[in-house]
């Protein structure tokens, strides 16, 4: 499989905005996307890019910028 420069743009953008706590500027979700998150005692679900962005903005708002998220390649990319 050949990898192009655009293969990881959505992941790159999401990581960049989550690390800098600027999720409100993230444009990686389609209008009909669904976010499902599950913890040990809860389950959470929102639909739509605006709803996802809004909830992630709350989740990441108090975070200080991080030193990055390690990414490991796989055989599939």
Structural domain count, the chain: 1
Mean local confidence (pLDDT), 62-77: 65
Q: Do the domain assignments include residue 66? A: no
Q: Would you state the pLDDT for residue 19? A: 75
Half-sphere exposure of 39 (CA within 13 A, CB side): 3
Q: Do the domain assignments include residue 18? A: yes
Closest CA to 52 of 25, 34, 72: 34
- pLDDT tens-place string over residues 7-64: 578 888 887 877 777 888 888 889 999 999 898 999 989 999 999 999 888 887 766 5
Q: Model pTM?
A: 0.64
Q: Do the domain assignments include residue 71? A: no
Q: Would you state the pLDDT for residue 49? A: 93
Domain range enclosing 23: 9-60
Exposed, middle or buried by CB within 10 Å (0-12, 13-18, 19+), for 36? Answer: exposed
Q: Do the domain assignments include residue 35? A: yes
Q: Do the domain assignments include residue 76? A: no
* Token pair listed for 9: 């743009």
């Amino acid at each position: 499989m050949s990898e192009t420069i655009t293969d990881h743009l959505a992941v790159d953008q999401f990581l960049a905005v989550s690390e800098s706590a600027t999720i409100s500027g993230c444009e990686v979700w389609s209008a009909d996307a669904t976010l499902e998150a599950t913890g040990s005692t809860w389950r959470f679900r929102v639909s739509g890019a605006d709803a996802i962005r809004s909830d992630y903005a709350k989740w990441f708002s108090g975070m200080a910028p991080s030193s990055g998220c390690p990414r490991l390649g796989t055989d599939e990319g």
